[in-house]
Amino acid sequence: MLTKSMKSNWKRAAILMGMAACLALPLNAAAKEKETEAAATEITADAGQVILSTDYPGVSAKPGATVTFPLYIVNQTAADDDAALEAKDLPEGWSGYFRGSDNEISSVHVSAGQEKADSPKLSYSLTIPEDAKDGDYTFTLEAAGTQAKADTTLTVKITSQEAGQSDFTAQYPEQQGDSTTKFSFDTTIINNRLTLQSYSLAANAPEGWSVTFTPSGESSKVASVPVDAGKSQGLTVDVTPSETVSQGDYTIPLTATSADDSLTLELKISITGSYGVTLSTSTGNLSASAYAGEEEKVTLAVTNTGNIDLENLQLAGQGSTDWNIRFDETTISLLEAGATKEITAYIQPAENAVIGDYVAVMTVSNAQVKGEADLRISVKNHTTWGVAAIGIIAVVCIILALIIRKYGRR
């Protein structure tokens, strides 16, 4: 602590210096003078006291908790002293004690001119009973020296919910995309506790969805994340909807649970509709053979690959000239998302179709979508006529031979 005489000397010296400097740098000097004056005024006002203080005189706590108040003791008087410590007006059932260098203490020594930075490590540990009701409680800590006395009034707010709650937030908690989108949410866990918390992470997603947590700047997926007291941790939450997800809004509650905290965050995902239809055969084999002029059955499979039900799907087939392609059902009135329906197509090549391969294009379409399949149709001729011809030749040969044998001999 500075004495008055020292201070006035300093002031004078400062003024002198200021005047000297003024000759060279008048502006700078004026600013310096003002600063010095302000510091002097403050110090003067606080002079001659012992002050007991703490950083946060009002705290919130839960019933049953132990709250520790770090204390600082400042002596502005010119004399050393011992100050007895005491807690006054403690509410009924509450208890507490003073601590200093790992011991319970009852008094503290204050040196002359001791400032806050020189204060011995001192704290008051307050234990709140389990049955404490919600509300504000006030009590006083007193340090009584022989010459000077200091006290500080502390307020403890009891809430079942602890103030300075940790937090779990997302930058954009609502996102939109189609069924193939991989959603990514940037979230943050803020630990407002006084101790390191290890949060285990969980998500309650619909069946078939996958939710993964990746700390910012990391590549490994984690199931829990430690967060230092008073720090925050960025967390990327990747959400992949199931392949068969249908259109609609989905809410995914995330929880981050630690020993003291249970944090929740709701992510909202809006899945937009996607249309899709594919046409194939039931076996996946896109080739078939048919006889010219005769109907051939081919079982087609129409699959709704989108996530919206399709209505009024029309089937059509295009072969070569004079080909006739019909279906047992020309219209599918409703095909649910992800569903497959089998349709029998009757393909009749033209009478005069050349034997060999043709392409027949099958289409299924409605107002929104179109699916197409190219079938390779091998047109054939019946082998029966060929076999018959060989038979005829053989029969004629035999008959001729018999006739010759019987009547032709001389």
Partner 1 sequence: MTQQSVGTAGVKNNVNESVSGSWKRARRNGLGALYRKEMADHIKGRRFLIILLLVAVTTAAGIYGAATGMKDALEADSHFVFLKLYTTGGSSVPSYVSFMALIGPFVGLMLGFDAINSERSNGTLGRLLAQPIYRDNVIIGKFLAGTVLIAILTTASSILTGAAGFLTTGLLPSGEELARVFVYIICTILYICFWLSVAIMFSVFCRHAATSALASIALWVIFAVFVSLLAGFFAGVIYPVETDYQKAVNALANYNCQLYINRMSPYYLYTEAVSSILNPAIRSVNAVTVSQLVGAISGYLPFTQSLMLVWPHLFGLASLTMLAFLISYVKFMRQEIR
Nearest approach in angstroms of CB 316 to partner 1 is 14
Nearest approach in angstroms of CB 217 to partner 1 is 57
Rule CB under 8 A: is residue 385 a binding residue for partner 1? yes
Joined together, the tokens standing for residue 405 give 């044998």
Which C-beta is closer to partner 1: that of 201 or that of 325? 325
Which C-beta is closer to partner 1: that of 22 or that of 292? 292
Q: What strand order describes the sheet that includes 167-170?
A: 167-170, 183-190, 232-240, 210-215
DSSP-assigned states of every residue in 66-104: EEEEEEEEEE-SSS-EEEEEEEESPPTT-EEEEEETTEE
Nearest approach in angstroms of CB 320 to partner 1 is 4
Rule CB under 8 A: is residue 386 a binding residue for partner 1? yes
Nearest approach in angstroms of CB 356 to partner 1 is 4
Question: Which residue among 243, 311, 322, 328 contacts partner 1 (CB under 8 A)?
Answer: 322
Nearest approach in angstroms of CB 381 to partner 1 is 4
| Phi, psi (degrees; rounded to nearest 5) at 384 | -55, -40
DSSP-assigned states of every residue in 179-243: TT--EEEEEEEE--SSS-EEEEEEE-PPTT-EEEEEETT--S-BSEEEE-TT-EEEEEEEEE--T
Nearest approach in angstroms of CB 384 to partner 1 is 10
Joined together, the tokens standing for residue 186 give 């940037």
- In eight-state DSSP terms, residue 113 is T
Q: How many helices (H) and strands (E) does the chain have?
A: 3, 28
Rule CB under 8 A: is residue 396 a binding residue for partner 1? yes
Rule CB under 8 A: is residue 400 a binding residue for partner 1? yes
Joined together, the tokens standing for residue 315 give 């089937």
Rule CB under 8 A: is residue 298 a binding residue for partner 1? no
Rule CB under 8 A: is residue 397 a binding residue for partner 1? yes
Closest CA to 196 of 233, 221, 159: 233
Rule CB under 8 A: is residue 410 a binding residue for partner 1? yes
Rule CB under 8 A: is residue 285 a binding residue for partner 1? no
Q: Tell me the helix, strand and coil percentages in the chain, rounded to 5.
A: 15, 50, 35
Q: Which residues contact 298 (CB under 8 A, 6 or more apart)?
A: 281, 288, 344, 345, 346, 347, 375
Amino acid at site 59: V
Nearest approach in angstroms of CB 183 to partner 1 is 45
Rule CB under 8 A: is residue 20 a binding residue for partner 1? no
Question: Which residue among 316, 334, 393, 399 contacts partner 1 (CB under 8 A)?
Answer: 393
Nearest approach in angstroms of CB 324 to partner 1 is 13
Which C-beta is closer to partner 1: that of 133 or that of 409? 409
Rule CB under 8 A: is residue 408 a binding residue for partner 1? yes
CB atoms within 10 A of CB 337: 20
Tell me which stretch binds partner 1 (CB under 8 A): 153-161, 212-220, 255-263, 316-324: 316-324
336-365 binders of partner 1 (CB under 8 A) = 350, 352-361
| Cα separation, 202 vs 223, whole angstroms | 7
Which C-beta is closer to partner 1: that of 259 or that of 389? 389
Question: Which residue among 159, 320, 363, 365 contacts partner 1 (CB under 8 A)?
Answer: 320
Rule CB under 8 A: is residue 383 a binding residue for partner 1? yes
Chain residues in the site for partner 1 (CB under 8 A): 318-323, 350, 352-361, 376, 378, 380-381, 383, 385-386, 389-390, 392-393, 396-397, 400, 404, 408-410
